Chains A and B, each alone.
Chain A
Amino acid sequence: GAVVSQHPSRVICKSGTSVKIECRSLDFQATTMFWYRQFPKQSLMLMATSNEGSKATYEQGVEKDKFLINHASLTLSTLTVTSAHPEDSSFYICSAREAPDRANTEAFFGQGTRLTVV
């Protein structure tokens, strides 16, 4: 299957700093990528839909100024957690859907990024 690479896999940062997480589709082009957040022992919650060349669509309750998403190319989307705080510590996972969009094409997941804010 298609490969989605997420980097870094783990990051520890100081409170107040910003952290950038990259999501790359390695062997296919993705017009749409999705960013999820997973709290310990809980399910994944969709944060935003990232569309190549346009603004991301954020889910209700997600602060767009805190979680900046950029999808500058068909193979890369980035999530920047700005002014991170300990409550932002979580597991962030991206997924990418192949382009052009076809019915029944699945979304492929990255391996996730464990963010710890100290």
Chain B
Amino acid sequence: GNSVTQMEGPVTLSEEAFLTINCTYTATGYPSLFWYVQYPGEGLQLLLKATKADDKGSNKGFEATYRKETTSFHLEKGSVQVSDSAVYFCALSPQGGTSYGKLTFGQGTILTVHP
């Protein structure tokens, strides 16, 4: 079956530091890959996504590249802000078909950014 593994947190950084959150996956075929962010007490917001190998998803300064050869989708940001403090989830979904949108999530990584 499908699975997603994220680096364990929590991750604590100072403002303007570089961020990497590792994500690797196991899936049949070619899944779509996502990063979601969850702020305290809220639901999930899509941060970025990639649907095929070598695609780079980007949003709000965050980037992740779909690496099929290493089955990875690591999240990076060059300079984090206090407002980036949240829980980040890596997820995958089968491409197309009736199962599309049925997400398998990683365990989540708590990020705390200090001023």
Write the residues of chain A forming the contact surface with B, with a CB cutoff of 8 angstroms: 1, 6, 32, 34, 36, 41-46, 49, 93, 95, 97, 101-112, 114
Instruction: Check if B93 is an interface residue, CB within 8 A of chain A.
Output: yes
- What residues on B are CB-neighbors of A32 within 8 Å? 98, 101
- Cross-chain contact of A34 among B96, B103, B106, B110 (Cβ < 8 A): B103
Write the residues of chain B forming the contact surface with A, with a CB cutoff of 8 angstroms: 32, 34, 36, 41-46, 49, 51, 89, 93, 95-98, 100-108, 110
State whether A43 and B105 are in contact (beta carbons under 8 Å apart), knowing that A97-B100, A104-B96 are contacts in the complex: yes
Q: Is the CB of B89 within 8 A of A34?
A: no
State whether A107 and B93 are in contact (beta carbons under 8 Å apart), knowing that A46-B102, A93-B44, A97-B101 are contacts in the complex: yes
Q: Is the CB of A43 within 8 A of B103?
A: no
CB distance from B34 to the nearest CB of A (A): 8
